[in-house]
């Protein structure tokens, strides 16, 4: 594998995803999810903005009558800005995220962090990068919540690996964790994208969200598996 001659300076990437599932018959369920990923490498800076939306509507029975109601609704936003040092593979980063899950016991959860980021390698076939640093988490519990406050200092770490399996197929593994002395919040995304035609691709992904700070009555691990259409604008 040969190193790239440049670091993709000025390269702007805008990628959108959309998927839905409709089930009828014994079970009536509608699920839709959408994502937006914007990133760019500049001479002295780089940035990445992510947006993730999930909505599920299911048929429920109340007082003997069937009706459709939301059973999942989640919004996740994040952004990271890197300042490149003398070696542009080594960087200082600032990160922030916001999550609103209508069906957990928080009105919102958010975090900010800053620290060291490095791209260990970046070739035509693969790339690997990581970041680690201290931060601060914030949360606002719902009025009837029974969970404990998660506001305080944290350590945030993230790794990302991409591999070009073929001219049409790309594998990506992303893992991040935010932790203090009492809880950890971990997110993992494994995906395989296959180009269909031009800028259009199909993506198979598995997302795992593990949160030890939720109510003991709820599962700490949430799993999402999806097949989506991906369109790269730039």
For residue 11, give the nearest of 48, 63, 66 by alpha carbon: 48
State pLDDT tens for residues 108-154. 889 999 999 999 998 989 999 999 999 999 988 766 655 666 688 99
Examine the pLDDT at 2 and tell me if it is beyond 80. Answer: no
Give the pLDDT confidence score for residue 151 in this predicted structure.
83
Give the pLDDT confidence score for residue 27 in this predicted structure.
65
Q: Which residue has the higher pLDDT, 91 or 62?
A: 91
Burial class of residue 234 in the structure, from the number of CB atoms within 10 Å of its CB (0-12 exposed, 13-18 middle, 19+ buried):
exposed
Q: Which residue has the higher pLDDT, 70 or 189?
A: 189
The answer as to whether 92 is a domain residue is yes
Looking at 41-185, list the stretches that DSSP marks H as alpha helix, in order from N- to C-terminal side.
Answer: none
Give the pLDDT confidence score for residue 1 in this predicted structure.
38
The answer as to whether 104 is a domain residue is yes
Measured in whole angstroms, the distance separating CA 157 from the mean position of its chain's CA atoms is 14
The answer as to whether 222 is a domain residue is yes
Q: Most confidently modeled of 14-23, 70-79, 145-154, 160-169?
A: 160-169
The answer as to whether 58 is a domain residue is no
Give the pLDDT confidence score for residue 217 in this predicted structure.
54
Q: How many CB atoms lie within 10 A of CB 96?
A: 15
Residue tagged 């598995």 (tokens): 206
For the chain, the domain total comes to 1
pTM, two decimals, is 0.84
- Quote the mean pLDDT of the chain: 86
Q: Which residue has the higher pLDDT, 192 or 210?
A: 192
Give the mean model confidence (pLDDT) for residues 161-174: 95
The answer as to whether 45 is a domain residue is no
The answer as to whether 27 is a domain residue is no
The answer as to whether 31 is a domain residue is no
Buried b (16+ CB within 10 A) or exposed e, 11-38: eeeebbbebeeeeeeeeeebbebebbbb
Do the beta carbons of residue 180 and residue 152 sit within 8 Å? Answer: yes
CATH number at residue 130: 2.40.160.40
State pLDDT tens for residues 215-232. 555 677 888 888 899 998
Give the mean model confidence (pLDDT) for residues 43-62: 88
The boundaries of the domain holding residue 91 are: 76-232
Give the pLDDT confidence score for residue 231 in this predicted structure.
93
The answer as to whether 6 is a domain residue is no
């Amino acid at each position: 594998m040969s190193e790239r001659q440049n670091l993709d300076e000025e390269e702007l990437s805008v990628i959108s995803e959309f998927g839905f599932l409709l089930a009828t018959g014994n079970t009536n369920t509608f699920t839709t999810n959408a994502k937006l990923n914007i990133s760019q490498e500049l001479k002295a800076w780089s940035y990445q903005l992510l947006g993730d939306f999930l909505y599920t509507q299911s048929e429920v029975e109340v007082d003997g009558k069937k009706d459709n109601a939301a059973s999942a609704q989640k919004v996740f936003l994040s952004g990271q800005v890197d300042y490149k040092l003398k070696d542009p593979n080594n960087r200082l980063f600032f990160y922030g995220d916001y999550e609103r899950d209508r069906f957990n016991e928080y009105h919102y959860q958010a975090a900010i962090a800053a620290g060291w980021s490095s791209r260990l390698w970046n070739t035509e076939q693969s790339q690997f990068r990581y970041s680690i640093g201290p931060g601060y988490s914030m949360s606002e519990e719902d009025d009837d919540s029974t969970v404990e406050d998660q506001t305080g200092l944290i350590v945030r770490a993230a790794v990302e690996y991409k591999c070009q399996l073929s001219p049409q197929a790309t594998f990506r593994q992303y893992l991040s964790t935010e932790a203090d002395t009492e809880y950890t919040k971990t997110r993992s995304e494994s995906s395989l994208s296959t180009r269909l035609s031009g800028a259009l691709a199909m993506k198979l992904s598995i997302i795992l969200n593990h949160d030890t700070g939720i109510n003991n009555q709820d599962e700490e691990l949430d799993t999402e598996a999806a097949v989506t259409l991906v369109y790269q604008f730039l």
